[in-house]
Chains A and B, each alone.
Chain A
Amino acid sequence: MTLGLLSISWQVIVDSIGLGAVYALMAVGIGLVFGVLRLVNFAYGQLVMAGAYALAFASEWDLPLVVGIAFCFAVVIGLSLIMDVVVFRPLRAQSPAVMLVATFAVAFLLQSIALLAFGPLGKAASSLGSLNRPVTVGDVDIRKITIVAIIVAGICLLLLVLLLERTTMGLHMRAAAMDFRTARLLGVRADRVIGSAVLISALLAATVSVILTVQNPLVTPDFALRDTIVVLAGVVVGGMNRLLTATMGGFAIGFVSGILGGALPSDQSQYLPSFLFGLVILVLLVRPNGLFARGPGPVERV
């Protein structure tokens, strides 16, 4: 079945929603930390990469599936906490530009370490391979992992909304995202808020590692690097000042990327990144504050 006008099949649409869901999770992970720390974590993709290597080693050692996934979560959370203590915490007083460069340095450092330690060829993470098989609905073949990705993303986002809207910690995090200094004056514990944001963002990164390794079982040092760049662009396009708009931006860029991949004729498919980022620049030209942002947005936080 195709949508006559653009001749994009339902197949492509479902896959695009799946990609959008994964990118939305990454966007939330980046957006949460940005909200409380004003720090764009460039090294987020390397958290996902570390988780993916954990899964690859787990399948190499023939660990049971649950243990493997637990190992992946442990590695990502551990690395994330180390990153927070060693890099983010000393840099909290610095300007956003310095922090951005610092996380870029960390990203590159982690990638180079992975290259040095595990080599450029990559390892296979195959424990969840069965999820790659398709289910046929009507005449559309949907890989099980796409369905899983969409459901998991939905559940994660729902839980997050409940956490942010219904719990005291969520209230504190929202307050800190609006104005950290005032929130602290009113009794919000800075370290706990930041710790929670880092932790939740790590949980999301680990979830993304599990989903991505099923879709792409070959884990290389630049695993998720390209995805992170795309998601960061999506977060900017959506509007990075609010978590909701950032998440929508992440979903949108994943969805559009999937649709473009399906719509481009095969002799032009290698230009997909150009089309995608060209679109990003075009949107930014029309709506510099973000596609989903309301009003002209604050010029600067003084």
Chain B
Amino acid sequence: MSGRHLTQLAGPLGLIVVAALLGSVASNSTEIYFINALVAVAIVVAIYVFVGNSGVVSFGHISFVAVGAWTAGVLSVPVTEKPAIMQYLFPVLRDHTIGNVPSLLTAAAVGGVYALLVGLPLMRLSGLAAGIATFGVLEITHNLLRYYEKVGPGTNTFSSVPETTDLLQAAIGALLVIGVAFGYQSSRFGRLLRASREDPAAARAVGVSVYQQRLIAFTLSGVLAGFAGGLYVHLLPINSETVYLDLTFITLAMLVIGGMTSLWGAVVGALAVSGLDSLLAEAENGLTIGSLTIDLPAGTRLVIVGALMALVLILRPGGITGGREFRLDFLRRTHPPAPEEPTP
């Protein structure tokens, strides 16, 4: 791997380390925002692995996060406490409890298998239709997790899951996900998929199976999303509504605002929007800066993030980073050649 390549990786990794260090000196009540942001990075990078490299929008990735969260959550609640919140569990789930790391790995595996099963039919579709069909996956997953009480708490909240996702675990998790995403996009498979993103017809003409490449990325991104879901359930008590439309929207907004087509964009977007979101959340509870007291009505957060996302798409469709990877000279970058005559 060339030096320039490693620089590209150094940017995202460095940013995570900085965020983690900042979080470690922050007060206890602020630290949670940093942990949240790091878990968000893991989720957004997982989505990026498929969406960024393939150019196909997916609204379904939060279902892999949900499945990962359910897996890790159900498996790590202590056996003695399972009957209280999940009385209808399958015996095998009811009678076994595993530790933190094994639960995260199982979550990743289950997320990957689920993504593979879902991807087999969906990746046959053309990009746009595939994107919309992924919404169906989200609906099915949400519906099943909400009502099928043999695999989880149903409509209840996942209480009693050991809260092992502290700052260190969140940072290590985010670093791992970024490392895997970078390894994939530098590999032969990642390059083939990116080629098909730029020009599907040309990629097909030189023998790339777009279906196969998309399926590989979809599965890998399912693995990472499942893992991120595991991190999430070990962070806060979640329920089936936590991992549904709002999270889908906010994570897509992070990816879009940062820049959909680069790993750097995914990381920057996740951290930037998380930061903004935390600030707005504080403001909704009443925030005092000096003599100024800001007290926003609840729900302002989503309006501002939504407006920001729409604005970025209209004014700077490449996102904050312009969809480019991290470069040391990025402050002095030259502008890309003007796009071709726009088609209506």
Q: Which residues in A have some Cβ–Cβ distance to B below 8 Å?
A: 37, 40, 86-87, 90-98, 100-102, 104-106, 108-109, 112-113, 115-116, 180-181, 184, 190, 194, 229, 232-233, 235-236, 240, 270-274, 277-278, 280-282, 284-285, 288, 299-300, 302
Contact = CB atoms under 8 A, between A and B. Distances in A.
Contact of A93 (B124, B129, B343): B343
Given A229-B139, A274-B144, A281-B122, A108 B302 contact: yes
B132 interface: yes
Given A236-B132, A284-B124, A273 B143 contact: yes
Interface residues of B, number: 51
Contacts of A271: 143-144, 147
5 contacts: A93-B342, A98-B317, A236-B129, A270-B143, A273-B139
Given A97-B57, A274-B140, A180 B299 contact: no
Nearest to A116: B299
B301 to A, nearest CB: 8
Given A109-B310, A273-B139, A97 B127 contact: yes
Contact of B133 (A87, A95, A102, A233): A233
Contact of B252 (A92, A101, A272, A274): A101
A37 B344 CA distance: 7
Given A108-B306, A115-B299, A281-B122, A97 B55 contact: yes
A102 B310 contact: yes
Given A105-B313, A115-B299, A97 B128 contact: yes
Contact of B201 (A93, A94, A97, A302): A302
Contact of B128 (A92, A100, A229, A284): A100
Given A40-B128, A285-B124, A300-B200, A87 B310 contact: yes
Contacts of A37: 344
Name the residue among B56, B125, B309, B310 with the largest chain A CB count within 10 angstroms.
Answer: B310
A105 B140 CA distance: 22
Nearest to A222: B245
Given A190-B344, A229-B135, A288 B124 contact: yes
B17 interface: no
Contacts of B201: 299-300, 302
A278 B118 CA distance: 10
B256 interface: yes
Nearest to B249: A108
Contacts of A272: 143
B179 interface: no
Contact of A96 (B120, B127, B260, B342): B127
A91 B302 CA distance: 22
Contacts of B309: 101, 105, 108-109
B306 A109 contact: yes
B300 interface: yes
A112 B317 contact: no
Most chain A beta-carbon contacts within 10 A, residue among B121, B146, B260, B339: B121
A94 B256 CA distance: 14
B41 interface: no
A196 B193 CA distance: 38
A24 to B, nearest CB: 17
B253 interface: yes
